[in-house]
Structure 1
Amino acid sequence: MITAEDLLFLKKMGLMGGLNGQVLVSSQKLAESLKMSPMTVSRRLSSLEKENYIVRSVRPDGQYVAVTRLGEDALKREYADYKKLFEDNSGTLLIEGEVISGLGEGRYYVSIPGYVDQFRKKLGFGPYPGTLNLKIDPFSVSVRKRAELHSWVDIEGFQADDRTFGSAKCLPCRINGYKCAIIVPGRSHYPDDVIEVISEVKLREKMNLEDGNRVKVEVCIR
């Protein structure tokens, strides 16, 4: 569970340039800016690195730090909470694209009980054992990034049968009235213009979809 102090550090790293790549960080200067002891700062950085919120490397000229995708996601969720406090975010965002044959990364998640149980509990539906892949329009890429500031559902990693299963995150949505969710594996290889959707039904069959057909994805933000 990420703490308020963790978020403070991630925000500081991001403002220093750590969201755009590695940035040179002096523990002493960071301690002064955060009004903490260098020892506290060093422990916090080690903890963030262990939890995969940041990566660090030591070079002859000093320590370099970068915020990972997991750390960036934590900051986005915090940002979304503040947006809910100060802005009217109710409404529906529309993402449009064409059906494609995909890598099937999400298919893996809907075939394992430890994930399926979480989908039922957190998303409100048991997913069909397959996914729908969409290549979204250029305009929808920016809409998707806006949608990602809202309502992500974390699917936790776990251990079973002496194996470790990684985490994922889902963005609840609807397609043609069916309950769905955009799923992003913890280590996704998809570009920004490709999304993978899990659903309560086999969408290709229910909507008579083939590669190249147009689909609209409704993301309700609140």
Structure 2
Amino acid sequence: MVVAEDLQCLKSIALMGGMDGPVSISTQKLGAELGISPQTASRRLISLEGQGLISRTIRPDGQFVTITATGEEELRTEYAAYQRIFEEGEQAYQLQGELISGLGEGRYYVSIAGYVDQFRERLGIDPFPGTFNVRLSPASVETRRKLAGLDWTAIEGFTDHDRTFGGAKGLRCTIAGYDCAIIVPGRSHYPDDIIEIISGTGLRRALELKDGDPVTIEVKRE
């Protein structure tokens, strides 16, 4: 868990432009922004780097800092928490994309008891063999990033027959009224515009879809 002081430092770096790429930041400037000494600011940067929330490069013209994807997700999680505090009622997110074929791994992984049992118990889904894969539109890629701060369900890693299987996280959603869940492996190999979905129904057949057909995914936040 990121401590409050580090999170405040991460926010300041973002406001200085660190979300957009390498930004020149001195410990004196950062310390002044946070109301702390340059030495303490240096320790904050070291801590953020150690947690993988920023990357740093030292050049002859100064120190350049970039917020990593992990750091961005941490900020989005904090943002979503404030949304839950100040926004009332239910909020729905809608993702638009097109159906694509996966790499064939989904059918294998959703057949493994260690995963299937957790999908049933934690997500309420007895998964159909295989995953439903969607390539998101550019606008929906940004919407997907907002989902990082929602309450995802942890899928624990486990060992079976001397083989270790990694953890994942799942988020309930619906497609055309069918209950589904977005699954993100702990070590995802897919780019940001691709998502994997499990469902208790073979959605391709039930919805008569083929690769390239439009798909709408709805995620509700209470």
Q: Which residue of 2 aligns with 1:151?
A: 150
* Distance in 1 of aligned mates of 2:108 and 2:43: 36
Identical amino acids, percent of aligned pairs: 48
CA pair 200-114 structure 1, distance change in 2 beyond 3 A: same
Higher mean C-alpha displacement, 134-143 vs 5-14: 134-143
Q: Which residue of 1 aligns with 2:48?
A: 48
CA pair 10-174 structure 1, distance change in 2 beyond 3 A: same
Q: Which residue of 2 aligns with 1:80?
A: 80
Maintained 8 Å contact 1:100/1:212: yes
* Distance in 2 of aligned mates of 1:107 and 1:13: 42
Calculate the TM-score normalised by the size of structure 2. 0.77
* Distance in 2 of aligned mates of 1:71 and 1:6: 11
* Distance in 2 of aligned mates of 1:209 and 1:88: 36
* Distance in 1 of aligned mates of 2:3 and 2:152: 18
Q: What is the CA distance between 1:81 and its match in structure 2?
A: 1.5
CA pair 141-128 structure 1, distance change in 2 beyond 3 A: same
Q: What is the CA distance between 1:107 and its match in structure 2?
A: 6.4
Give me the CA root mean square deviation. 3.3
Structure 2: gaps of 5 or more residues: none
Matched, 1:26 2:12: no
Q: What is the CA distance between 1:220 and its match in structure 2?
A: 0.9
Q: What is the CA distance between 1:138 and its match in structure 2?
A: 5.6
Q: What is the CA distance between 1:206 and its match in structure 2?
A: 4.0
* Distance in 1 of aligned mates of 2:11 and 2:157: 28
Maintained 8 Å contact 2:73/2:149: no
CA pair 215-164 structure 1, distance change in 2 beyond 3 A: closer
Maintained 8 Å contact 1:152/1:170: no
Q: What is the CA distance between 1:191 and its match in structure 2?
A: 4.7
Matched, 1:174 2:159: no
Higher mean C-alpha displacement, 18-27 vs 31-40: 31-40
Q: What is the CA distance between 1:158 and its match in structure 2?
A: 5.6
Q: What is the CA distance between 1:22 and its match in structure 2?
A: 0.9
Q: Which residue of 2 aligns with 1:202?
A: 202
Maintained 8 Å contact 1:172/1:182: yes
Higher mean C-alpha displacement, 104-113 vs 76-85: 104-113
Q: Which residue of 1 aligns with 2:135?
A: 135
CA pair 48-221 structure 1, distance change in 2 beyond 3 A: same
Maintained 8 Å contact 1:79/1:149: no
* Distance in 2 of aligned mates of 1:60 and 1:151: 41
* Distance in 2 of aligned mates of 1:217 and 1:190: 18
* Distance in 2 of aligned mates of 1:4 and 1:32: 18
Calculate the TM-score normalised by the size of structure 1. 0.77
* Distance in 2 of aligned mates of 1:209 and 1:17: 42
Q: Which residue of 2 aligns with 1:190?
A: 191
CA pair 154-55 structure 1, distance change in 2 beyond 3 A: farther
Equivalent residues, number: 219
Q: Deviations over 1:80-127 (max 9, x none)?
A: 111222223514333333321134676676466666566455534354
* Distance in 1 of aligned mates of 2:77 and 2:212: 33
Q: What is the CA distance between 1:137 and its match in structure 2?
A: 4.7
Higher mean C-alpha displacement, 153-162 vs 11-20: 153-162
Higher mean C-alpha displacement, 180-189 vs 79-88: 180-189
